[in-house]
A and B are shown apart, each in its own frame.
Chain A
Amino acid sequence: MADGKGTTCLMVILILGNIFGAAAGLALCALAIWVAVDEYKLYPISGVSGKDDIFAGAWIAIFTGFAFFCMCVFGILAAAMKSRALMLTYLILMLIIYIFECASCITAVTHRDYLVGNSNLVKKQMLKYYAADGDSGSRITLTWNKVMKEVECCGTDGPVDWIEYNSTFREMYGTDYPWPTHCCKRKNNYEVVNVEACKNGQNTTMFTKGCFNHIESVFSRYTWAISWYGFAVLMFMFWLLILAMVYYLIL
């Protein structure tokens, strides 16, 4: 070959880039598994509304992350063997995986905007499904109870949500309780500290901040994991593929 030294240099760069890409792909797979597992257990909020494609993006990213890993290992092989056929296979398969990963990133970030762009969707869902009958109602009720207890909050933007709007909860319990008893502070043995003061709204006996900040931060965390990290991996893979194309041309 005419420029053997240049070819060897490019081969070394390609092999190093593929090693790094394999590690990045495996990390993407692991991160997507973390999102899919949903440690904060907030999936029902997105599932009941039908806008659960953050998790669909996570599932796609599990497979594309692992596929990136496998293809980068194959790319090391193809570059070392200086074979044109193998390099072409590598390029075409990497492109297909690239397309899927793009889809995952864009889906996750778009659906995050639908879900937590503002508090309306979460508020409407809470008012409609909290304390309602049926499968959706029970899932939403359990999720909200858990959030209110752990994050120490009440309502979406605050307890005033329960007062301003009609809701399934108000229709069932509204003559007595202005808001659910999970909004009240509890002692260590899970008893409410003071039910009457909580019904009056005394801020020493109930939680007065809204839960939307927490919900929004959790979904944003999941989305940034899938979309921004996927974006970073794709930017790196773009330049790697450009180099691979150049290598193929001079092989």
Chain B
Amino acid sequence: MALLFYVVLCLSVWTGLCQIPVNNSPAINPSSLAAKLTSNSVILMPPSCYFDNLNILTCNSPTTCEIWLVTAIDTGVSNFDADKNKTYIDTLSPYPTAFSSNTSKKYFLTKLGLQKDYPCPVVAGTDYFRVGSDGSCSTPNCNGILPVGSTARFRYVLINPANKTVVAESLWSNNITLYPLKDPESIDNGFAGRSASMIVITSILCSFLALLLLLLLIMLIYVLCCREEKQEIQVPGSVRMYDTHNLKDPSPYVNRAYEDEPQRPTATSPIRLKSYTDYDLKKPATEL
């Protein structure tokens, strides 16, 4: 009974009517890669131990079977499941047209390599697979970037290179949502909040400045109108108070009582005799 079942299974695979399911599903690489999920690419775990223990009659060695990745976005999942029995599956939905319009198939296939390139257990250095590493490419099965912010599901398939039929397949992965790109204009770079030091400096400086201005004003007002001239109290006998003015600027003493005199003799203009009449010689004095 089991043998019959096995023969039937092998025959069906050989005719390409069904695929052997494998109980693994792709997932995002759990290691600490900073770009494992971007807005247009994903880094997945490689299919290292997925297809190892299968006896497949068609592409029957790890050196001939090829591992391919199917990337599908919403209706692409059902489109691929409908297409997977056909031959030459890699030509049914090439990458450039896969997401180009609303009626396109929304899935594409890209080749990872031969089954022997992904041995079990995984070799360090090949423990990741980046979907989208070819950038914005145009060949039919290139590893191109996904539409920005889309939600994709992935599936690894084993392909017979002879007629490009799907021989074995993994499960569909969970929904993997890519980053939706945020607009940088949405960043609010306005008011960032006042720091404590700003408040301290501003308030203290402003108040001290106001205080200083006020005190200066008060001082000026006091000096200009309210202050009396200081009287120098002459303490008798106090030699310190005496102002030796005549030694500071010597000047000839001028008696102000004679201010109304028309001409005052000074050191520079002494009285000059204009004329002298010697009365004694002219008229001798008569004796009385």
Interface size range of chain A in the complex? 35 or more
Q: Can you name the residue of chain A whose Cβ is closest to the Cβ of B36?
A: A201
A151 an interface residue at 8 Å Cβ cutoff? no
Q: Which of B136, B187, B201, B223 is A105 in contact with, Cβ under 8 Å?
A: B201
Residues of B within 8 A of A203 (CB): 32-34
**B195 CB–A CB distance under 8 Å:** yes
Instruction: Say if the beta carbon of A123 comes within 8 Å of chain B.
Output: yes
Q: Give chain A residues whose Cβ lies under 8 Å from the Cβ of B204.
A: 231
Q: Quick check: A227 and B201 within 8 Å, CB to CB?
A: yes
Interface flag for B17 (CB, 8 Å): no
Q: Please, what's the 1-or-0 string for A98-122, where 1 marks a CB less than 8 Å from any CB in chain B?
A: 1100100110011011100110110
Which residues of A lie under 8 Å from residue B162 when comparing CB positions? Answer: none
Question: In the complex, are the beta carbons of A123 and B216 less than 8 A apart?
Answer: no
Distance in Å from the Cβ of B152 to the closest Cβ of chain A? 16
The A69-114 residues at the B interface (CB cut-off 8 A) are 91-92, 95, 98-99, 102, 105-106, 109-110, 112-114
With contacts A109-B198, A166-B182, A178-B38 taken as known, whether A231 is within 8 angstroms of B205 at the C-beta atoms is: yes
* In the assembled complex, A13 has its CB within 8 A of some CB on chain B: no
Does B202 reach chain A (CB closer than 8 Å)?
A: yes
> With the chains together, A194 CA to B194 CA distance in Å?
43
Residues 153-206 of A at the B interface (beta carbon under 8 Å) = 158-160, 163-167, 170, 174-176, 178-179, 199-203, 206
Check if B206 is an interface residue, CB within 8 A of chain A: yes
Q: Which 4 A-B pairs have the closest CB atoms?
A: A117-B192, A201-B34, A201-B35, A127-B184
Q: Which A positions have Cβ atoms within 8 angstroms of B?
A: 91-92, 95, 98-99, 102, 105-106, 109-110, 112-114, 117-118, 120-121, 123-124, 127-128, 158-160, 163-167, 170, 174-176, 178-179, 199-203, 206, 208, 227-228, 231, 234-235, 238, 241-242, 245, 248-249
